[in-house]
Chain A
Amino acid sequence: MPDENPVPQTPAAPPAAAPSGRPPGGRPAGPHRRGKRQFLRKKKVCRFCVEKVDLIDYKKADVLQSFIQERGKILPRRMTGTCARHQRWLTVAIKRAQNIALLPFSAEL
């Protein structure tokens, strides 16, 4: 399923309550749901919408950093919760940053 094993670097925004807490805590009391259900539960909010960003700056490599995987791949929307519009802008920003060596195209080992 898509939401499992989030990459370690998933942006800080919502995943606070994310899977890491799951194994020890077990499923919380309440309706007997399957484990899978709980993954679908957590609501992710687009970080850029929350901050009302109208222009994603490709120069802020530290911000963009949190939206790429360790090896440099751009994280999909389903991982980060970014809305479609902001994801569109985000990819452009990341690609620009890559071109001027602020972000890696592919991190070396």
Chain B
Amino acid sequence: MEERLYDLIFILRPDTPEAEIDKIIATLQHAVEEKHAKVEKVEKWGTRRMAYRVKKLREGFYVYMVLRSSHGELLKELERRLRVSDAVIKYLTIRLDEEVKRKEKLGRRRERRAARRPKKAAPAAAGAEQTAAANG
């Protein structure tokens, strides 16, 4: 199975101690590596205001991870862990590889077009000059 790219964001209670946060991240990373998947990025966004109240809280500590895995099962497992963790108030996993693929495709197409257009424009201009010269 081909590898898929996932975004995983979870929100912790803002009063979670730093050590606890690191522990949660470490256990997740461990679980990921156990399944021979990769953690591409871990970002702690820190405490920020949420757009609405979650579990009666207005703020939350955001953690953002990017994963690359070929086991869909892994995500299930991670979600289960997040669900049972008391500190986690919200989480979201998003599969992104298809969109990234689309983005790359569009980018390539744009490059190709950019490469082609000047060539096309040049002969046309040259042709115009020639006819102008012929007429003059």
**Closest B-chain residue to A72, C-beta based?**
B51
Quick one: which of A54, A58, A96, A104 contacts B51, CB cutoff 8 A? A104
Q: A4 an interface residue at 8 Å Cβ cutoff?
A: no
Question: Would you give the shortest CB distance from A66 to chain B, in whole angstroms?
Answer: 15
| B residues near A99, Cβ cutoff 8 Å | 92
Number of A-B contacts (CB under 8 A): 40
Contacts A55-B102, A58-B94, A96-B92 given: A101-B60 contact, CB under 8 Å?
A: yes
A100-B103 CB under 8 A given contacts A52-B110, A105-B52, A108-B52:
no
Count contacts on B: residues with CB < 8 A to the other chain. 20
Residue A69 is within 8 A (CB to CB) of chain B in the complex: no
In the bound complex, do residue A100 and residue B92 qualify as a contact, i.e. CB atoms below 8 Å apart? yes
Partner of A100, one of B90, B99, B104: B90
Cα-based distance from A55 to B97 in the complex (angstroms): 11
Can you list 11 residue pairs at the A/B interface with Cβ under 8 Å?
A54-B102, A54-B104, A55-B99, A59-B9, A99-B92, A100-B11, A100-B92, A103-B51, A104-B51, A106-B52, A108-B52
A102 within 8 A of B: yes
B43 to A, closest residue via Cβ: A59
* Interface residue A98 (Cβ < 8 Å from any Cβ of B): yes
B102 contact set on A, CB distance < 8 A: 54-55
Encode A65-109 as 1/0 by CB contact (under 8 A) with B: 000000000000000000000000000000010111111111110
CB of B124 closer than 8 Å to a CB of A:
no
Contacts of B127 in A (CB 8 A): none
In the complex, residue of chain A having the shortest beta-carbon distance to the beta carbon of B10: A100
Contacts of A100 in B (CB 8 A): 9, 11, 90, 92
